[in-house]
Structure 1
Amino acid sequence: MLRVSGSDIVDAEGNKIILKGAGLGGFLNMENFITGYSGHEFEHRAQLAEVLGKEDAQFYFDRLIHHFFTDEDAAFYASLGLNCIRIPFNYRHFINDLQPDVLKPEGFALLDRCVEICARHNIYVALDLHAAPGGQNQDWHSDSGISRAMFWEFKDHQDRAVALWEKIAAHYKGNPVIAGYNPLNEPADPTPDAQGHHGARLVAWYARAEQAIRAIDPDHILFIDGNTYAMDFRAFPDKPLPNAVYAMHDYSPMGFPTATQQYEGTAEQKAKLRASFERKVQFMRGHGVPIWNGEFGPVYADARTMAGGAAAADEVNAKRLALLREQLAIYAETGVSWSIWLYKDIGYQGMVYADPASAYMRLVGPFVAKKERLGVDFWGIVDKSGVGSVYDPFVKAFKDMVDPRFHDKKYPKIWTLERQVERVVRECLLSEYLGWELAELFRGKTRDQLEELAESFALRNCKQREGLNEILRKDVLGQISHAS
């Protein structure tokens, strides 16, 4: 099994291992921009159950999960030289909120299938609790349905998460395929410590979870995300946890469609990338522990929706790939392990993505385009100006109602008041209403038709983002360097 030795991850013989791979988002934790629905996963599932009936809806989701990651995917993944996959999972696969004391065996069956597939292709697995009870952060991917991280306000939520990890540790104890456990994805705890740094409850929960897991499984690595979406370690104690890899996330605003500045490869931009990364890993550097960049990666332009068509999209994507190369070159300098976001989706970030001509994309494509126009899903927003006439006056009036002294009071403070408003109004409320509109597209579908829709995500029916995959392959071969 892998373990930590100083600032390195090593195998059983003591050989240094650098983990390189991707996150398997949209699978055991679904996300709106990855598969095209709006809002939150539990809403999406409930809305389809209302339209299709519970049994047919469950059949569809089961088949979608089946096709989303198979031996064919693992073989392709390994062919690029990637050696680890991060598997985000939703607590709802294990815990029924109305019967929380009984863990569902279905969750372990889903994880076991993935682990067995990866074992056959020599791929390590990092298990990532991406959505915890109550939501460990304020965003859609914690699947709470609200804009508060209630995980930090209810001890019962925290207890459930610890108990779940105890069961997972008992289940996978001694399994060498498991690289380690990622107890919480992107926690965002607003609780200040004595110095005023956010994350006091997070630090306490990590200490508790570590002891609980170690009492059962003393050997597997823990991948510890920083606070405030894996970017802030200021509240963390000076003594790192044993056999732990500390994880940060390194998304660059220059890689997003709504960025005010696109990446051009200037000296100033390169310095900004490096400074942002070094700020996030200051804790790891100072304590001599391994670094894992658990998520990063740009969002790519789509020729079908890009003004200017294919030529314009190609130009933008060349800049996004150049940004990615520069980030990888920075990581390579000190042997940072990484997990790009993400492996498979409908075309925003994935190494592979659903074919626009597939049955699924033919069905949901117009709905996805509407979401883009309305700016509903943050990751899928191409241009918010189309709804400016609606939201700009509203946000201005909202700001005028609030004393300016408190405009930046709400945590996370990296989000402006405008961002806080659009998260609640668009990404929580409007998105839920639109979810019923998507569900109606499935009405009357037979099981054969549902199978065809789910099968759109099978690797053989997907397209490959070849430029991205070639960069990842070159990095594995040690052929990535800083561009002049």
Structure 2
Amino acid sequence: MSQSSDGYLRAAGPRFLDPHGAAVQLRGVGIGGWLNMENFVTGYAGTESLMRAAVRRVLGQERYESFFDRLLTGFFDDADARFLAAAGLNAVRIPIHYHHFEDDARPFEIKEEGFRHLDRVIDLCGRQGIYSVIDLHALPGWQNQRWHSDNPTHLATFWQHRHFQDRVVRLWEAIADRYKDDRWVAGYNPVNEPADESRQVVGPFYRRLVEAIRAVDPHHTLFLDGNTYSTEFDVFDVFDEPPANTVYVCHDYAMAGLAYGGPYPGRTRGVWQDRDVLEKKFLQRTEFARELDSPIWVGEFGPIYSGDPAVDEQRGRILADQLDIYRRYEASWSLWTYKDIGLQGVVYASPDSPYMQRFADFVAKKKRLGADAWGSDGTGPAEVTQAVQDLIAREFPGFDPYPWGRWDFVRTLLLTITVAQPLVEEYAALFEGLGDDELVALADSFALANCVVREPLRTQIAQGPAAPNRLREADRP
């Protein structure tokens, strides 16, 4: 078997090869809600920037910075890397927000201090034989219409402004230059879930971005998400030849595993869901990669757990079927997500922790109002939401907006924007009057020692004892 060039993991044909030329299946988790925060992961409402601004107003700049630095430090440390290695996992996907590395008021100026936590976790994981994929999850101007790109609107303006695109190229040149010699970085995921409604800009932008990264770093694998939330891959027709050492990423959420999911097997919103349906959808989403004979990488997947044992048993069956499908097709994968407050995480903050004791009622209200797009069924107060849904359906019967249609459009504007924004202020108000020790206790609620392990999920994704490091100590950068 051929050697992987220069000691880096790389894509070669349908497989990843380690530095010694041996085939590697990447199996891991996404560290969601960390360097790119998400409302369902830590329980706030709205977007990260709105939440941070509100909490800053309550705590003041110095205590605000201290709290969030403590949270980021405890959320993932050496104990977490060792926990993942003990499960036999060998990869993490690390979502990052551009705000850590660049300020809107000073575009194109890269902030050195923004790399501190990213450097730390890449090193911690590398010491456990775990590769890191760096994923730019939130781009200036917002590359998609959803809260997880920190978008407070329903418009993805990144695709309309060259200024935003130029900034992302500059940022990736800086990231690639920093990690170009790091053998424990598996590669770069330059744009999470792009959603270019015109379908005219994303392809040429990818071509430009690939050229810019490759000019700085010719070694690391590129993980390219398809358009429309990593489900459409014809955008890559802009390349005359498929770029070498490149993976085309699919995201593979099962409808029955979402918050509004029905029985499994069974019908969810009128659509039948079973293993055969999951496999058909997986084959559809990976067709482009398989035709190019490149590695299959499922960048995100995983059901949402409800707390109801009967429902969660079915969610476990969904995951079991997906993992079996991935094994059959030798697909690498990254489960979403590692740690949260109990919705999807392999581990989650204990209900008895200071954080959950303080914010549990708020989280319940947010769910009741349907303001959490990921953690609620999207209904919210039916006396309001159904009336608006009926109005739009009646008055505009042909209305089918990008990306997911009328129902999702209405719930997004009505619940995850209009209702969520005043909830941001309620969340921040819960920090009022807290002393420094209390803030530390809140942040430390997310340390692994203070979390609960979702054992059925950990067991499902565990791959036995961690494989021995194939990178020698001398190979470390």
Task: Provide Cα deviations, 1:379-437, integer angstroms capped at 9, x if missing partner.
Answer: 110573x61111111222233333x23x11x211xx12121011012111211111101
Name 1:284's counterpart in structure 2: 289
Distance 1:383 1:416 in 2: 14
Q: Which among 373, 395, 399 is matched to residue 401 of structure 1?
A: 395
- Does 2:330 align with 1:341? no
Which AA in structure 2 matches 1:60?
A: F
Instruction: Note if contact 1:183-1:224 (Cα within 8 Å) is conserved in structure 2.
Output: yes
Q: What is the Cα deviation at residue 105 of structure 1?
A: 1.1
Q: What is the Cα deviation at residue 102 of structure 1?
A: 1.3
Name 1:392's counterpart in structure 2: 386
Against the structure 1 CA distance between its residues 254 and 273, is the aligned structure 2 distance closer, same or farther, given a 3 Å change threshold? same
Distance 2:294 2:465 in 1: 22
Q: What is the Cα deviation at residue 256 of structure 1?
A: 2.0
Distance 1:467 1:461 in 2: 19
Q: What is the Cα deviation at residue 144 of structure 1?
A: 2.3
Q: What is the Cα deviation at residue 261 of structure 1?
A: 4.2
Structure 1 segment 308-347 matched on structure 2, within 5 A: 313-347=308-342
Instruction: Note if contact 2:348-2:451 (Cα within 8 Å) is conserved in structure 1.
Output: yes
Name 2:439's counterpart in structure 1: 450
Distance 1:439 1:291 in 2: 42
Q: CA RMSD in A?
A: 1.8
Distance 1:100 1:235 in 2: 28
Q: What is the Cα deviation at residue 53 of structure 1?
A: 1.1
Distance 1:316 1:442 in 2: 34
Distance 1:80 1:101 in 2: 40
Name 2:205's counterpart in structure 1: 205
Name 1:256's counterpart in structure 2: 258
Instruction: Note if contact 2:10-2:17 (Cα within 8 Å) is conserved in structure 1.
Output: yes
- Partner of 2:92: helix, strand, or coil? strand
Q: What is the Cα deviation at residue 130 of structure 1?
A: 0.3
Against the structure 1 CA distance between its residues 268 and 258, is the aligned structure 2 distance closer, same or farther, given a 3 Å change threshold? closer
Q: Which among 171, 178, 187 is matched to residue 178 of structure 2?
A: 171
- Does 2:63 align with 1:46? no
Name 1:378's counterpart in structure 2: 373
- Does 2:70 align with 1:90? no
Instruction: Note if contact 2:85-2:466 (Cα within 8 Å) is conserved in structure 1.
Output: no
Q: 5+ residue gaps in structure 2? A: 1-7, 468-477
Name 2:76's counterpart in structure 1: 69
- Does 2:416 align with 1:421? no
- Does 2:129 align with 1:135? no
Instruction: Note if contact 1:373-1:383 (Cα within 8 Å) is conserved in structure 2.
Output: no
Name 2:4's counterpart in structure 1: none
Q: What is the Cα deviation at residue 301 of structure 1?
A: 1.3
Q: Which among 6, 9, 32 is matched to residue 2 of structure 1?
A: 9
Instruction: Note if contact 1:24-1:85 (Cα within 8 Å) is conserved in structure 2.
Output: yes
Distance 2:175 2:339 in 1: 25
Distance 1:259 1:462 in 2: 26
Against the structure 1 CA distance between its residues 375 and 77, is the aligned structure 2 distance closer, same or farther, given a 3 Å change threshold? same
Q: What is the Cα deviation at residue 240 of structure 1?
A: 2.0
Name 2:453's counterpart in structure 1: 464
Instruction: Note if contact 2:172-2:213 (Cα within 8 Å) is conserved in structure 1.
Output: yes
Q: Which among 156, 164, 168 is matched to residue 161 of structure 1?
A: 168
Q: What is the Cα deviation at residue 318 of structure 1?
A: 1.0
Q: What is the Cα deviation at residue 263 of structure 1?
A: 3.5
Structure 1 segment 204-223 matched on structure 2, within 5 A: 204-223=204-223
Instruction: Note if contact 2:137-2:191 (Cα within 8 Å) is conserved in structure 1.
Output: yes
Greater shift in the superposed pair: 420-429 or 450-459: 420-429
Name 1:362's counterpart in structure 2: 357
- Partner of 1:371: helix, strand, or coil? helix
- Partner of 1:288: helix, strand, or coil? coil
Distance 1:177 1:13 in 2: 14
**Residue correspondences, number:** 455
Q: 5+ residue gaps in structure 1? A: 192-198, 303-312, 479-484
Distance 2:351 2:297 in 1: 34
- Does 2:95 align with 1:100? no
- Partner of 1:89: helix, strand, or coil? strand
Instruction: Note if contact 1:131-1:185 (Cα within 8 Å) is conserved in structure 2.
Output: yes
Distance 1:235 1:169 in 2: 23
Q: What is the Cα deviation at residue 233 of structure 1?
A: 0.8
Task: Provide Cα deviations, 1:231-269, integer angstroms capped at 9, x if missing partner.
Answer: 11123217322110110000001112312443469x971
Instruction: Note if contact 1:328-1:475 (Cα within 8 Å) is conserved in structure 2.
Output: no
- Partner of 1:101: helix, strand, or coil? coil
Distance 1:268 1:299 in 2: 15
Q: What is the Cα deviation at residue 474 of structure 1?
A: 4.7
Name 1:481's counterpart in structure 2: none
Distance 2:273 2:146 in 1: 31
Distance 1:241 1:206 in 2: 11
Against the structure 1 CA distance between its residues 54 and 107, is the aligned structure 2 distance closer, same or farther, given a 3 Å change threshold? same
Against the structure 1 CA distance between its residues 62 and 457, is the aligned structure 2 distance closer, same or farther, given a 3 Å change threshold? same
Instruction: Note if contact 2:36-2:97 (Cα within 8 Å) is conserved in structure 1.
Output: yes
Distance 1:300 1:430 in 2: 24
Which AA in structure 1 matches 2:419?
A: L
- Does 2:228 align with 1:224? no
Distance 2:22 2:229 in 1: 31
Instruction: Note if contact 1:263-1:320 (Cα within 8 Å) is conserved in structure 2.
Output: no
Instruction: Note if contact 1:256-1:299 (Cα within 8 Å) is conserved in structure 2.
Output: yes
Against the structure 1 CA distance between its residues 48 and 443, is the aligned structure 2 distance closer, same or farther, given a 3 Å change threshold? same
- Partner of 1:338: helix, strand, or coil? strand
- Partner of 1:422: helix, strand, or coil? helix
Q: Quote the sequence identity (%).
A: 44
Q: What is the Cα deviation at residue 116 of structure 1?
A: 1.3
Against the structure 1 CA distance between its residues 336 and 477, is the aligned structure 2 distance closer, same or farther, given a 3 Å change threshold? farther
Which AA in structure 1 matches 2:107?
A: P
- Partner of 2:253: helix, strand, or coil? coil
- Does 2:243 align with 1:241? yes
- Partner of 1:378: helix, strand, or coil? coil
- Partner of 2:462: helix, strand, or coil? helix
Task: Provide Cα deviations, 1:196-255, integer angstroms capped at 9, x if missing partner.
Answer: xxx331111111111111111100000011111011112321732211011000000111
